[in-house]
Structure 1
Amino acid sequence: MFDQCRKVFCRYQTYPIENHLKEKEAYQSLDNTKLSWWFRRDMNHGPSGCDDTIDISEYDAYYLDQNASKKNEKVVYLTFDCGYENGYTEQMLDILKKEDVPACFFVTQTYIRDNVAIAKRMKEEGHQVGNHTIYHICMPDKSYEEIVQEVNGCADYMKEATGYAMDPYLRPPCGEYSARTLAITQDLGFKTIFWSMAYMDFDVNNQPGVDFVIDHFNKYHHSGAIILMHNVSSSNAGALEKVIANLKAEGYRFASLNELQ
Structure 2
Amino acid sequence: MWIKHLLGIVVSCVILTVGILLNPFQVEAESLNWGFKKGAQEKPAQAGSTFDELLKKYGALYKGSPDEKILYLTFDNGYENGYTASILDTLKKEKVSGTFFLTGHYVESATDLVNRMIKEGHEIGNHSYGHPNMANLSEAQMKNEWEKFDQLLGEKTSVNKTRFVRPPEGVFSEKLLAYGNELGYRHMFWSVAFIDWHRDRTLGKAYAYNHLMNQIHPGAIILMHTVSPDNAAALPDFIRDAKAKGYTFSSLDSLVNGTNDFPLSFH
TM (norm. structure 1) is 0.85
What residue in structure 2 maps to residue 17 of structure 1?
none
**Match for 1:153: what amino acid?**
K
- Determine the C-alpha separation between the residues in 2 that align with 1:42 and 1:110: 33
Structure 1 segment 101-180 matched on structure 2, within 5 A: 101-180=96-175
Larger Rg, first or second structure (1 or 2): 2
**1:76-111 CA distances to partner (integer Å, 9 max, x unpaired)?**
000000000000001100110011000000001111
C-alpha displacement of 1:51:
4.9
C-alpha contact (below 8 Å) 1:120/1:164 kept by paired residues: no
CA shift for structure 1 position 45: 1.2
Q: Assess if the C-alpha contact under 8 Å between 2:40 and 2:216 holds in 1.
A: no
CA deviation vs aligned residue, 1:153-205 (integer Å, no higher than 9, x gap): 11121111112234310011100100001101111111101000000000111
Select the residue among 221, 240, 245 that pairs with 2:216: 221
Whether 2:37 is the aligned partner of 1:40: answer: yes
Counterparts in 2 of 1:166 and 1:51: CA distance versus 1, 3 Å: farther
SS in 1 for 2:50: coil
**8 A contact 1:122–1:128 mirrored in 2:** yes
RMSD between aligned residues: 1.3
CA distance in 2, matches of 1:216, 1:114: 30
Aligned residue type for 1:56: L
Amino acid at match of 2:160: A
Alpha-carbon separation, structure 2, partners of 1:257 and 1:167: 12
Distance (Å, rounded) in 2 between the aligned partners of 1:84 and 1:247: 28
> Helix, strand or coil: the match of 1:53?
helix
Deviation for aligned residue 1:218: 2.1
- Equivalent position SS for 1:50: coil
- Asked if the contact 2:153/2:160 (under 8 Å) is kept, the reply is yes
| 1:63 corresponds to 2:62 | yes
SS at match of 1:174: helix
The structure-2 alpha-carbon separation of the partners of 1:110 and 1:194, relative to structure 1 and needing over 3 Å to count, comes to: same
Stretches of structure 1 that go unaligned for 5 or more consecutive residues are 1-27
Match for residue 75 of structure 1? 70
Deviation at 1:137, TM superposition (A): 1.1
TM value normalised by structure 2: 0.83
